[in-house]
A = this chain, B = another copy of it.
Amino acid sequence: MSTDFQIAATSGPARFGKLITPHSEIETPVFMPVGTVATVKGVPQDVLEELGVQILLGNTYHLYLRPGVETVRRMGGLHGFMSWDRSILTDSGGFQVFSLNDLRKVSEEGVTFRSHLDGSSHFFSPESAMEAQIGLGADIIMTFDECTEFPADRERVRASMELTLRWAERSKKYFEEHKSEVPWSSCQLRAISCQEKQIPRFARNDNSTRNDNSTRSDMPGGDGGAAELRPAGQPRAAVPTRAEQTQALFGIVQGGMDRELRRESALRTVEIGFGGYAIGGLSVGEPRELTREIVESTLEHLPQDKPRYLMGVGTPEEIALYARMGVDMMDCVLPTRAARHGLLFTSEGKISIKQARFAQDGGPLDPACGCRVCQRYSRAYLRHLYASNELLAQVLNTVHNVSFYLDTMRAVRHSI
């Protein structure tokens, strides 16, 4: 099995649920911080753990370019590479290929594009996007889709949607044929599942094992000896052994701003059959009210018993709104990117910490926030750090904003 989803309570269309992946259990609705190139910028993994992050997002497009899929695969996938043993979701690269690359050529086969790093030419297809995501080893991976531009006329939206559906079929086909190649295959998980506590990931007496494809005979349970035989790069399994541990593949609904096309895309995507369903192609410049309408109508056509993932949203108000509408998962660069620009979300509204009025403000950033930043540092200090272009500004601002988003979701879950 790959991913299990259980709904524990509902309140209107909202669902309080539990998403169980091979690596961790995630309460939903959940907001997933974006860790683009295997790092949530400036925040070490132990701090993410303390904040209660259960799942984060990695970008396949960026990781494919640097450090490359093979490097990550050899380290045991993203979990081993970035030393994160909770859950990870990767997008397929479809969005960045469109948003970061002006010079691109779309064909039935896939997309040719140039690296924004060095201009080198690359090609993504449903098959290669699946291959990359299997190598990266996230718990949840996404089909390779075409993110329809906005605005677009109906014929264009239909053509784009149809292409996405054909690519979804190909994504699923490749995935089913190759999913056992995930770097943390079940036999390796079984070997380390008995370990009770987090141990250093480096096997002290086992310098020879750097190949994550090695398998081990069954380990003795839970003793120090097991640590020495642990394959380098293998993260601790958070769940007991299961017969078949694999990734889950989610499909993506497109259809632009057309409710009929959205309905059709949803039904036909469900017909193909995936572990969960995302709503893509929104927050691409359309008015917020239109986003809300499309989300609301699309949700009606997605199965109740599978997670629903709204991609690329939003502000704290928006994520709370969509969660109450029945969305289970969301991601957005907003909290982390805004933080790095000194824009901080608080219970008193959004503030720009660089403003002079904070220069001698000895109060906490957000009096209602329990995060380590608000518990320790003053607005004056945070303002000074940002005005001085200090690294710590980036770090502390990001910690707070992520905490605020997680708190927002926590409050919504409690209210359901």
- Identify the A interface with B (CB < 8 A): 37-39, 41-46, 66-67, 71, 74-75, 80-83, 200-202, 210, 232-233, 359-360, 362-364, 367, 372, 375-378, 380-381, 384-385, 387-388, 390-392, 394-396
Contacts and interface: CB of A to CB of B under 8 A. Distances in A.
Given A44-B395, A359-B67, A202 B367 contact: yes
Contacts of A74: 360, 362
Given A66-B387, A387-B67, A46 B372 contact: yes
* The 4 A-B residue pairs with the shortest CB-CB distance in the complex, in nearest-first order: A42-B391, A67-B384, A39-B392, A83-B376
A381 B210 contact: no
A38 B377 CA distance: 12
9 contacts: A41-B391, A44-B392, A44-B396, A66-B387, A75-B380, A75-B381, A200-B376, A202-B364, A391-B391
A363 B80 CA distance: 12
A43 B390 CA distance: 10
A384 B66 contact: yes
Copies in the assembly, this chain: 2
Nearest to A340: B391
Contacts of A380: 67, 71, 75, 81
Given A42-B391, A42-B395, 20 more contacts: A37-B388, A38-B381, A38-B384, A39-B390, A41-B390, A41-B391, A43-B392, A44-B392, A44-B396, A46-B376, A71-B380, A74-B360, A75-B362, A75-B378, A82-B377, A82-B381, A83-B378, A83-B381, A233-B362, A391-B394
Contacts of A360: 71, 74-75
A82 B382 CA distance: 9
Contact of A378 (B46, B81, B381, B392): B81
A108 B388 CA distance: 33
A195 B106 CA distance: 67
Chain B CB count within 10 A is highest, among A232, A385, A391, for A391
Nearest to A233: B362
Given A44-B395, A388-B37, A392-B42, A376 B71 contact: no
Nearest to A231: B362
A383 to B, nearest CB: 8
B391 A395 contact: yes
Nearest to A46: B372
A74 to B, nearest CB: 6
A362 B37 contact: no
A396 B82 CA distance: 13
Contacts of A39: 385, 390-392
Given A67-B387, A75-B362, A376 B37 contact: no
Nearest to A39: B392
A71 B359 contact: yes
A156 B130 CA distance: 72
A197 to B, nearest CB: 13
B362 A210 contact: yes
A385 to B, nearest CB: 6
